[in-house]
Amino acid sequence: MDHIEELARALARFPGIGPRQGKRFVYYLLSAPADERKRLSELVTALGKDVRQCSECMRFYNGGNTATICNYCSDKTRDDSLLMLVEKDQDLSAVERAGTYKGRYFVLGGVLTLSGKGAIREKELFKIVEKKLKNNLKELVLALSATSEGEHTTDRIRELLAPYRDHLKLSELGRGLATGSELEYSDAETLRAALTNRKET
């Protein structure tokens, strides 16, 4: 087996990384101290062992114990009347960094593309909405990126959740977010404004 080629191919499967960058990483690793390579491989292995996926919000978290839900979902001080839908874990982190939102979350795990590709966690979304509605849920905050895919996905979710509209308010982030911007890269100030200016949809 050609280890250089194999590892380069594995790295090229990462988002945003192509074959040439994959190869650059491999040569970097070859020139790095053995300790650094060892540490990296240990960290990758630990991801499968110590990181869990929350059964409620679906985010990945460090689960050192036997809990099946994460600290945001188990935190009794958070507001059960609000559920924010984000595309990915990194977006959730960006909202947490902004520091104003104190409700619950759900990570959709992707967006739907205009050509009909991509998948979101529809089944899990229904499950959590049903469950939370029994527990004081009042508003669903659609916090998707201000991209065409994000908007397309928002439309689809609005459609999916139409049967719940009598009991559930849907809102979208205010357009403090520039068109085309991804939540993950928005600064805290912009996110705070977008949250405060969210509007019913």
- Per CB under 5 A, residues contacting Zn ion are 54, 56-57, 70, 73
Question: At its nearest, how many Å lie between Zn ion and the CB of residue 73?
Answer: 3
Give dist(CA 155, CA 66) in Å, integer: 37
Question: At its nearest, how many Å lie between Zn ion and the CB of residue 11?
Answer: 30
Q: 187's torsion region: left (phi>0), alpha (psi -120 to 50) or beta?
A: beta
Question: At its nearest, how many Å lie between Zn ion and the CB of residue 156?
Answer: 23
Task: Tell me whether residue 73 or residue 193 sits nearer to Zn ion (CB atom).
Answer: 73
Question: At its nearest, how many Å lie between Zn ion and the CB of residue 84?
Answer: 12
Cα angle 171, 175, 179 (rounded to 5 degrees) comes to: 120
Please state the three-class secondary structure of 45-91 as a single string.
Answer: HHHHHHEEECCCCCCEEECCCCCCCCHHHHCCCCEEEEEEEECCHHH
Question: At its nearest, how many Å lie between Zn ion and the CB of residue 132?
Answer: 12
Task: Tell me whether residue 55 or residue 171 sits nearer to Zn ion (CB atom).
Answer: 55
How far lies 112's CA from each of 147, 148, 156, in Å? Answer: 11, 10, 8
Task: Tell me whether residue 104 or residue 152 sits nearer to Zn ion (CB atom).
Answer: 104
Task: Tell me whether residue 106 or residue 170 sits nearer to Zn ion (CB atom).
Answer: 106
Task: Tell me whether residue 11 or residue 57 sits nearer to Zn ion (CB atom).
Answer: 57
Please, which residues have CB within 8 angstroms of residue 179's CB and are 6 or more apart in sequence?
A: 146
Give dist(CA 51, CA 198) in Å, integer: 33
Question: At its nearest, how many Å lie between Zn ion and the CB of residue 157?
Answer: 19
Say how many Å lie between the first and final Cα of the chain, rounded.
Answer: 55
Task: Tell me whether residue 89 or residue 182 sits nearer to Zn ion (CB atom).
Answer: 89
Give dist(CA 124, CA 128) in Å, integer: 6
